[in-house]
Amino acid sequence: MNRDTRAPVKVVVLSIVGLWVAYFLLITARGAVVGLELQDELLWRRALVCVAGGGITVLLWMLLRLFDARSLAMKVGIAIIAAVPASLAIAQINTMIFAPIEDQVRAKIGEQRGLTIRRDESGNLLLDIPGQTAPEGTEQGGDGSPEAPPASIVIEPAPTAADYWRRLTDLALSRYFLLLAWAALYIAIVAGARARAAERRGERFRSAAKAAELRSLRYQVNPHFLFNTLNSLSSLVMTGKGDRAEEMIQSLSRFYRHSLADDSTGDVSLEDEIDLQEHYLEIESVRFPDRLRVHVDLPDELAQLKVPGMILQPLVENSVKYGVSASARPVTISIVAREEYGRLVIRVSDNGPGMPTTHTGGFGIGLANVRDRLEARFGQEATITSGQSLDGYETELRLPMVKHG
């Protein structure tokens, strides 16, 4: 059985110690209430029985833990059966430890009541009743009255083997239910450990699934971006702009060296993410040297906040495609970060013509990818809104403020 699904040893040991300490205290309190004599003698013997009981309970635990992975019905059945010899063993130890002092306790009780309780040579328990009048001719006491030996009544015959087993069974029954109560507690502890282990496994599976989803979504970005860039590069080559094509290749190399350096599912600092987009815009500036303008506004206190890697790439790419490329005049692409009401707000906008009137949907894979990645990473804690602005088009991300580390 997996170690994670076992009951913690410390918890089990504490439960056993707690059981027998509670038993010791309750029996001791009971003895004090009923006024048992020889409390000092009884106390250390009772403690010895509890220590022995704890040891036997440990043996019971070692047996039960062999069946931790089995069904509940089997574990209960094993506990019911195994508790029988365990309780008999505790009862036998109890009998052996307390047998030497039992007659002394009875004698003390008799003394308190002016009676004599003793055993004869045959093992019968006798009660001597004083004050009997002696018959005529017997020795007289100091006051002249006849004196006779006290009359004795057998209050308990010498125990037989059947009596011994009857008494042992009676003692064992109380210990039996004590052990069953502990076994029920142990089974509950095991069930709790298995439930926690299942919850941890579920969390690992969810984390693995989320990582796979994030990896898949991010891998969508690179081929899409590379396809568009290669198309641009092809256009430069076909139009004889070899110098600009070479410049684009160098910028593309720097971009991929930067983007591939990070974990594909991990977060990056906002500063690095915006720096990566500036690399990308360097590439596009080769295509649009006279039309592409860039504006970045990143406050220093927000620079080290964590965001999903390349989360801004599709948004910036859309601004190039639908803003710069579709316009004959200079277009400024802005990336602005702000803190608003305890949230990180990132706006990517352009002052281009905006969404074409013939465009009936979103921006296809780009915007959908960003939305899906934010949902996979932050659930309902992140939002994305996109639409026409007064002077172009704007997309706004609202994210939790995740700090470094």
- Distinct helix (H) and strand (E) counts, the chain: 8, 10
State whether 47 and 107 are in the same domain. yes
22 dihedral zone (left: phi>0; alpha: psi -120 to 50; beta): alpha
Total residues belonging to the chain: 405
Evaluate whether 313 touches 276 at the Cβ level (below 8 Å). yes
The answer on 386 and 293 residing in a single domain is: yes
Neighbours of 30 (CB within 10 A): 10
Amino acid letter at 250? Q
The residue written with tokens 């990896």 in the block is: 215
- Same-domain check for residues 250 and 192: no
> Around 191, how many Cα atoms within 13 Å sit in the side-chain half-sphere?
11
CA distance 91 to 236: 96
Long-range contacts of 208-217 (CB under 8 A, 24+ apart): 210/376, 210/377, 211/265, 213/372, 213/376, 214/264, 214/265, 214/308, 214/373, 214/376, 214/377, 215/264, 215/265, 217/369, 217/372, 217/373, 217/376
Of 170, 199, 228, the one marking the end of a domain is 199
- Judge if 274 and 379 occupy the same domain: yes
Distance, CA of 242 to CA of 323 (rounded, Å): 25
Assess if residue 217 is contained within a domain.
Answer: no
**pLDDT (0 to 100) of residue 140:** 47
Contacts of 81 (CB under 8 A, 6+ apart): none
Report the pLDDT value the prediction gives residue 239, as an integer from 0 to 100.
85
pLDDT for the residue 137: 47
**Dihedral pair phi/psi, residue 363, rounded to 5°:** -95, 30
pLDDT 10s digit of each residue in the chain, 405 long?
556 667 889 999 999 999 999 999 998 888 777 666 566 778 888 999 999 999 999 999 999 999 988 899 999 999 999 999 999 999 999 988 887 776 666 666 666 666 676 776 766 666 666 655 444 544 444 555 555 556 667 667 766 778 778 888 989 998 999 999 999 999 999 999 888 888 887 777 666 666 666 555 555 555 666 776 788 788 888 888 888 888 888 878 877 776 666 555 578 899 999 998 998 898 888 778 899 999 999 999 999 999 988 889 889 988 998 899 889 899 999 999 999 999 999 999 999 987 766 554 444 567 887 888 888 888 889 999 999 888 899 999 999 999 865
Inside any domain, residue 188:
yes
Residue 216 inside a domain? The answer is: no
> Is 353 inside any structural domain?
yes
Domain boundary among 175, 199, 223: 199
DSSP 363: -
pLDDT given at position 225: 64
| DSSP state at residue 125 | E
Instruction: Give the global pTM.
Output: 0.50
pLDDT value at residue 381 = 92
- Rounded CA gap, 14 and 11, in Å? 5
Where b means 16+ CB within 10 Å and e means fewer, 346-366 reads: bbbbbbbbbbeeeeeeebeeb
CATH number at residue 278: 3.30.565.10
What's the number of domains the chain is made of? Answer: 2
Can you give the residue range of the structural domain that contains 56? 3-111+161-199
CB atoms within 10 A of CB 206: 10
Residues 312 and 171 both lie in one domain: no
Q: Are residues 191 and 281 in the same domain?
A: no
- Same domain flag for 293 and 370: yes
The verdict on 194 and 304 lying in the same domain is: no
**Do 259 and 387 belong together in one domain?**
yes
- Rounded to 5°, the CA angle 68-70-71 comes to 120
All residues at 6 or more sequence positions from 200 whose CB lies less than 8 Å from its CB, including other chains: 4
Residue 92 counted as domain residue: yes
For position 174, what pLDDT does the model report?
A: 87
Tell me: do 59 and 179 sit in the same domain.
yes
Report pLDDT for 232. 77
Domain assignment present for 145: no
d(CA 375, CA 397) in angstroms, rounded, equals 12
